[in-house]
A and B are shown apart, each in its own frame.
Chain A
Amino acid sequence: MQELIECLTYDELEEFIKYSDYAVVDFWAPWCAPCHILHRILQTVAPAFSKINFGRINTQRYPEAAEMYEIYGLPTLLLFRNGQVVDRIVGVVSKNYLVEALNKLIK
């Protein structure tokens, strides 16, 4: 499976969001078991959404990213339109739920 989800550093995060019309950022940590499940779901869904840039950031390595975006639980997906947060998904969700949220993002 081609990896369409960019691994981001804290320094890259702001520009990634700023220069994307639509962006989804997965806030995760290696110790978080549900994060690994959600990542796989995101991997399977991402190819159908070429308008969206997908990224993920390890909050254990970059806790300042979690602080900046007020991430209180993992995994959390933040959905951005023109640099603004328009949706926040906390925890593992089904593929269908995620597809619906992404369709809403680009509508």
Chain B
Amino acid sequence: MKAAAISINGLSYSSFADCNPKFLLNLFSSTYRGVVENRDSFEPLKVWKLILKNATFEQLLSKGVLFSNIPITNPTYGRPSTDMFKVSLREELELMLSTINDYSDKYIVLFSINAYERDLKNKKNVCEELSLVDNYLKAAFEAVNNYMFFSPYGFNGTSYEPYGIYISSIPRPSEEETIKLDQILDIVLSLKI
């Protein structure tokens, strides 16, 4: 069973409405979906410490999770990692796919896409960026059996939203509740079941 959890920091359902990403909207209509709610912070360091519950790379590897490109250090934390100020979105997405191809038969790959939010801060076009992400998430979806695409908050280029996306092959913990950051790791761990 191959599994991957991909975070696209800053991706929001608002951008779905603005840009109509074809693959993600199709998936949204046909699988489990929900909303990540984050009232804690929009700073990647704080957000990811909450998601990972301060676990180290080795601790999570022993539980079967390989985390990659986590934006809490630069170069990013995990294996593989990148220079998060220099890597392009396309390079990061390519790295996501190669990590899934190389490791997802042995580990649940937890990969963070960081360049999307960085590019939006640099005033790149939201819909062009999302179109690229959409294409690569389709490839990721096709490479695994279980998947989870999520974002810990939304960002539209000018302001942050406390809501992120959740689209997954498994249902969220509670139907009529948002998903909190400290629940994400448990969902990731259940992807392999």
Contact = CB atoms under 8 A, between A and B. Distances in A.
Given A31-B176, A31-B178, A44-B17, A36 B166 contact: no
B13 A36 contact: yes
A33 interface: yes
9 contacts: A30-B35, A30-B163, A32-B35, A33-B13, A33-B166, A36-B14, A36-B35, A40-B18, A44-B17
Interface in B136-193: 163, 165-166, 175-178
A41 interface: yes
A60 interface: yes
Nearest to B14: A40
A29 interface: yes
A36 B35 CA distance: 9
Interface string B12-29: 111011100000000010
A79 B178 CA distance: 27
Contacts of B178: 30-31
Interface of A: 29-33, 36-41, 44, 60
A38 B35 CA distance: 14
B37 A40 contact: no
Contacts of B71: none
Contacts of B35: 30-33, 36
Nearest to A36: B13
B130 to A, nearest CB: 13
Nearest to A92: B17
B46 to A, nearest CB: 21
Interface residues of chain B: helix, strand, loop or mixed (majority): mixed
A60 B14 contact: no
A33 B34 contact: yes
Given A40-B13, A60-B176, A33 B33 contact: yes
Contacts of A60: 176
A40 B163 contact: no
A37 B13 contact: yes
Q: Which of B13, B176, B178 has the most CB of A within 10 A?
A: B13
B185 to A, nearest CB: 20
Contacts of B177: 31
Contacts of A31: 34-35, 37, 175-178
Minimum-distance CB pairs A-B, first 5: A40-B17, A36-B13, A40-B14, A33-B33, A37-B17
A100 to B, nearest CB: 17
Nearest to B174: A31
A31 B175 CA distance: 8
Contacts of A36: 12-14, 35, 163
B164 to A, nearest CB: 10
Contacts of A33: 13, 28, 33-35, 165-166
A39 B28 CA distance: 16
